Amino acid sequence: MKVILLSDIKGVGKKDQVIEASDGYARNFLFPKKLAVEANNANMSKLKAKQESKQFRKDNEKREAEELARKLKGIMLKIRVKAGENGKIFGGVTSKEISEGLKREYNIEIDKKKINLTDTVKTLGTILVDIRLYEGVIGNLKVDIISE
């Protein structure tokens, strides 16, 4: 009997997956515990509509991320810091400061966890920062660190 899983079941399958299950397993375990429904025409059309709307939402999010990546390419974010005579920064510039600077100056909200800094920046100058906007979409941002 073909069934559509309503939740992840270890060793059986993932949510919204259509599997072949034995009649007894489906009727005595999956259906009573509301872990699956029968894969009839009505349920299959609901599943297809759900998958199409999920794909549409994913495509929209990816398009928005690509648009934001193009926008970030033209931005030069300036961050003012206190520095010593030899160009060393007191403390350093973190991804949190970059995120706050984007929000303050350009009204662009990016989570600090998406900003890819290997370590805090401790020198003055211009750096190129990678930002993971979406799966497979990486934006580049130029950050100019200048002394106060």
Output DSSP code: residue 47.
H
**Residues 107 and 49 reside in one and the same domain:** no
Give just the sign of the alpha carbon dihedral 45, 47, 52, 56.
Answer: positive
HSE-up (13 A, CA, CB side) for residue 72: 28
How many folded domains does the chain comprise? 2
pLDDT at 76: 93
**Residues 91 and 141 reside in one and the same domain:** yes
Residues 6+ apart with CB under 8 A from 20: 1, 2
pTM listed for this prediction: 0.73
**Residues 54 and 7 reside in one and the same domain:** yes
**Residues 53 and 72 reside in one and the same domain:** no
- Report the DSSP pairing between strands 121-123 and 88-93: antiparallel
Give the domain range for residue 82.
Answer: 67-147
pLDDT in tens, 17-42: 999 999 999 999 999 999 999 999 99
